[in-house]
Structure 1
Amino acid sequence: MGLKISKRCCFPLQGEQSHRLVIFAAIFVLMTLLILYGSNNVNESVYAPFHVATNYAIKATDLKKWSGKDGYVPFHGNKSMNLRCQKCALVTSSSHVLGSRAGEDIDRTECVIRMNDAPTLGYETDVGNQTSLRVVAHSSVFRVIRKPNEFLQRPDSNPVIIFWGPPSKIGKEGKGTLYRLIQRVSMTYNNLSCFSITANKMRRFDSLFHRETGRDRQKSHSWLSTGWFTMVIAIEMCDSVKVYGMVPPNHCGKSKAGSKKMPYHYYKPRGPDECVTYLQNEGSRRGNHHRFITEKQVFARWAKQYNITFTHPKWF
């Protein structure tokens, strides 16, 4: 008798538990569908970048006033960084330059600016062959020095190379390993004019980022890119700048179903995808990251002030 009563008492409890499991499963499926729907629609809206802080009034900076000999120090001798040009071609490292056949136009420009270890040999049709100025990050020093025929000993030119990085590694006062290495290179190749950016000017680059975005570079865990340094230097030394291969700031926020992936560097076809790199760096809040999209939004504003145009793709 007691056994029968026990069974009748338990049946409602088991039914109630089953009912709860069904409800829980339904809620789980619904939430999963909502998450998937939201993730599929992220790219449908314009990507909201890291850029200007809310209610931040941008303070106009006259970058032409940055020009001067005090911001650059030679690694050897008493040379001055006095490169001045009316028209400049700034050739990015983006794979968007491939297939552009812009090499002849680039080489006809008075001054040609390149970045880091972006090569010309083998890519002349698209990126040209001439180099007037190369801006190199401390992290790319060894890659540049490993290929002297490409970057250092060019019989057809006398390029300027500006190295940037932490003063402790690249600065004259720090006299670190990289400083001594670049100094030896500068002494070996007489055709080169090698300069480092002074510690004071490095701080000014940080300050400029803060003024233009409302974000403190260090507190926001942001790394300035070589593109940031190169664009500012180009504005300093050039009356007009034509940029090859740089995409607009909203390029990676648009839906591109079935679009071809674009390698981050034109000379590394198996490298990471450009938009994936941009979005990962822009959206990350942990660790230090480049803010590529934010920087391009600033460049778009500067284009109106400093006679900057963009081609391949053309967007300004």
Structure 2
Amino acid sequence: MTLLLKRLRYISALLISTTILLFLYFQNSIVVLTYSSYSSVSKQAQHASHICLGDLGNSSSWFSERYKPTVPLLLNSANSELHANIFSWWKELQDVPNVPNYTEVVDQLFSLFPDEDHYSDAGPDRCRTCAVVGNSGNLLRSNYGQQIDSHDFVIRINKGPTEDYEKDVGNKTTHRILYPESAVDLDDNTHLVLLPFKVLDMQWLISVFTTKNIIQTYTEVPSTIKANKDKVMILHPEFIRYVHDNWAEGHGRYPSTGFLTLIFALHICDKVNVFGFGATSDRNWHHYFDETLTLFEYGSHSGDFENITINQLHQENKILMYKGLT
């Protein structure tokens, strides 16, 4: 009887051990399966958060009437001949005597700089994210730096510095749009995008990389800057006129650099996030790197109308505005 009891206890212990082992095995399988499924879903969600939201044919009439996908963005030898009305309007912007011969200057340009059809790769599979970084004081203490640097393209404007402001504005720059009077040194990986308000601006660009003899426009300009000659681009005068007519609706003498940059980004990017535009929380207009107040609504630009248009683009979900501290 004692021997039988021992055997029954042994069998019971064996069954209990086997049951526990089986339970632990299947529980571990469920945990692994659950973690794997969660990981997969998490990755899908993470990927989805980075999907560029295309136009999908849902543009309003307001946007469609203004946006012209065929406008030439960048100057090259194939599209450099200007229509008479474009040249006449552009020539009126040039507050310098003795306007140089445009055709001769263009020939020089494309003997020095890349003569390419940039950003012609638009299509349903492209997903290019762009940060347009303005110079508003609302960037201070915004902590946008890391977010700005996460974009494919980071387009900066004029002299806006990154050094000492990295936490708020980032340190990545893929493109900097400037003109002679706002020129700064660039690193070797940054595209110099010239905004030519006059033929002399194009001559200055040539001079920067050759004779270095142009030191004056309507004011003193640098005779040379650090920049990669193979990454030079020139905005097309017809594009400047298009922004003035279609987006600024003729307000002001010509569009501001920031406004031109934003519309340029709409044409080369699939998702446009805008930082450093607009007033500070106390309704002042100044740069994040100095406190000189700007009367944005006066001068050659119609800053008030540009601001209305930019806010409308935000309302239409064509851009996403980051307004800093509120």
Q: TM-score range by the shorter chain?
A: 0.5 to 0.7
Corresponding position of 1:40:
none
**Residues 162 and 169, structure 2, Cα contact 8 Å, conserved in 1:** yes
Q: Letter of the aligned partner of 2:320 in structure 1?
A: T
What is the alpha-carbon distance in structure 1 between the residues aligned to residue 306 and residue 111 of structure 2? 29
Corresponding position of 2:192:
161
Change (3 A) 1:74 1:126: farther
Q: Which one of the candidate residues 88, 99, 114 is aligned to 1:78?
A: 114
Corresponding position of 1:223:
254
SS of residue paired to 1:121: coil
Q: Does 1:64 align with 2:69?
A: yes
Change (3 A) 1:202 1:304: farther
Q: Does 1:126 align with 2:183?
A: no
Change (3 A) 1:165 1:313: same
Corresponding position of 1:278:
296
Q: Letter of the aligned partner of 1:268 in structure 2?
A: D
Corresponding position of 2:97:
none
What is the alpha-carbon distance in structure 1 between the residues aligned to residue 133 and residue 197 of structure 2? 25
Q: Does 1:299 align with 2:310?
A: yes
Change (3 A) 1:261 1:229: closer
**Residues 74 and 196, structure 1, Cα contact 8 Å, conserved in 2:** no
Deviation, 1:207, is 3.9
Corresponding position of 2:241:
206
Corresponding position of 2:142:
100
TM-score, length-scaled by structure 1 = 0.58
Q: Does 1:312 align with 2:323?
A: yes
Change (3 A) 1:182 1:237: farther
Corresponding position of 2:208:
181
What is the alpha-carbon distance in structure 2 between the residues aligned to residue 100 and residue 110 of structure 1? 21
Corresponding position of 1:136:
178
Aligned length: 217
What is the alpha-carbon distance in structure 2 between the residues aligned to residue 167 and residue 212 of structure 1? 21
1:224-260, Cα deviation, whole Å (9 max, x unpaired): 210121012111110011101223xxx69xxxxxx74
Change (3 A) 1:213 1:131: closer
Q: Does 1:193 align with 2:193?
A: no
SS of residue paired to 1:290: coil
What is the alpha-carbon distance in structure 2 between the residues aligned to residue 294 and residue 140 of structure 1? 23
Deviation, 1:76, is 2.5
1:132-158, Cα deviation, whole Å (9 max, x unpaired): 1111133212xx1xxx3xxx235xxx1
SS of residue paired to 2:290: coil
**Residues 74 and 195, structure 1, Cα contact 8 Å, conserved in 2:** no
1:174-210, Cα deviation, whole Å (9 max, x unpaired): xx3454225679997547511222xxx3244224322
Deviation, 1:74, is 5.6
What is the alpha-carbon distance in structure 1 between the residues aligned to residue 136 and residue 302 of structure 2? 16
Change (3 A) 1:301 1:262: closer
SS of residue paired to 1:80: coil
More strand by percentage: 1
Aligned 1:17-96 pairs, distance under 5 A: 60-66=65-71, 70=75, 76-80=112-116, 82-83=118-119, 86-96=128-138
**Residues 239 and 306, structure 1, Cα contact 8 Å, conserved in 2:** no
Q: Letter of the aligned partner of 1:82 in structure 2?
A: H
Q: Letter of the aligned partner of 1:153 in structure 2?
A: D
**Residues 114 and 232, structure 2, Cα contact 8 Å, conserved in 1:** no
Q: Does 1:289 align with 2:307?
A: no
**Residues 113 and 229, structure 2, Cα contact 8 Å, conserved in 1:** no
Structure 2 gap segments, 5+ residues each: 1-61, 81-108, 122-126, 213-223
Larger-gyration structure (1/2): 2
**Residues 94 and 266, structure 1, Cα contact 8 Å, conserved in 2:** yes
Structure 1 gap segments, 5+ residues each: 1-56, 253-258, 282-287
What is the alpha-carbon distance in structure 2 between the residues aligned to residue 307 and residue 75 of structure 1? 37
Q: Letter of the aligned partner of 1:65 in structure 2?
A: T
1:36-84, Cα deviation, whole Å (9 max, x unpaired): xxxxxxxxxxxxxxxxxxxxx9981224333665568768343536257
Q: Which one of the candidate residues 267, 280, 286 is aligned to 1:236?
A: 267
Q: Letter of the aligned partner of 1:238 in structure 2?
A: C
SS of residue paired to 2:128: strand
**Residues 285 and 296, structure 2, Cα contact 8 Å, conserved in 1:** no
What is the alpha-carbon distance in structure 2 between the residues aligned to residue 278 and residue 113 of structure 1? 21
Q: Letter of the aligned partner of 2:170 in structure 1?
A: G
Q: Letter of the aligned partner of 1:180 in structure 2?
A: S
